Chains A and B, each alone.
Chain A
């Protein structure tokens, strides 16, 4: 299964864009990249996923490099409520399970 690597923590000022990187250099051609976030004591919340094209929804944008070895989750205008642990995960070949990394703890400050 492909592994993901993320920085353990990041800070962002409220109202600014938060750019969270993820390395998945061993990803296979048909494995998807997923992003979830988790607020303390709650279950992970789905944010976005993609295969090779950039994706955008009401929560965030996902930028995947052309070689697919890394991706960036962008929260365009971070708010205090975006403070959470953000997990990058890879959907394994066969679409059976998500393989999560150890996550990035994002702190959004006023």
Chain B
């Protein structure tokens, strides 16, 4: 079973600053890694898949990098609309008992 661990649990960032979110897999998932944004009361939204490919319509302020066990989501020039919980998800080991990390809450 692959376990996804995200850090930090909460990230406080000022508007205009850069936010860096980390996701670590307990074993290699190659680049089979996605990131989602979840705002309160809304449906989760796919941001990144393949570790670095932005989903359709996603702002270039969001970028992903990594492979193997270490991954990073960077939000450049944070805006108030970016307040949300961000989840990573591995899809290398399927079907999984646990696919998602526990989330990082981004506070403005």
Q: Answer yes or no: are A and B bound together in one complex.
A: no
B interface, CB within 8 angstroms of A: none
A interface, CB within 8 angstroms of B: none
